[in-house]
Amino acid sequence: MTDRMILGTTLPVFIGVTLIVMCGCAILMGRALAASWRPARHAVPYCLLLAVADRFLIHELFGGDIRSVSGAAIDTYCILFSALITYRLTLTAQMVRQYPWLYERVLLIGWRTRRQEPVGR
């Protein structure tokens, strides 16, 4: 199978339009949602709109196959993945930065309640 059959377009077009442009938009959207304290589920409809715009741009500008189901699924997955990872990274940084007496960072995308130290130590 060639990349044109799987992605519905060529690999350079996929990298340029989907990974750089649309995933870049998804990263900015994930940051904005986390910064405004909105839930992560709000990212799903926005990502679906970005995926539709992605397929349309690939079809109109580069002659890609707009009916490629596997291409649309891969594009949607990449866009949704980048938005949700960025959302979680931003939310974690925000929680730890705004409430340092309550939470501490766990790995990159999580936080936990700080353990209370005994007063006499």
pLDDT reported for residue 117: 74
Residues 39-64 have pLDDT tens digits of 999 999 999 999 999 999 999 999 98
Average confidence (pLDDT) over 64-92: 94
Phi, psi of 64, rounded to the nearest 5 degrees: -75, 165
Percentage with pLDDT > 70 across the chain: 95
Distance CA 27, CA 22 (A): 9
Average confidence (pLDDT) over 5-13: 88
Distance CA 88, CA 109 (A): 6
pLDDT reported for residue 97: 92
Stronger pLDDT, 72 or 120, i.e. the higher one: 72
Please report which confidence band the pLDDT of residue 121 belongs to, taking 50, 70 and 90 as the band edges. Answer: low
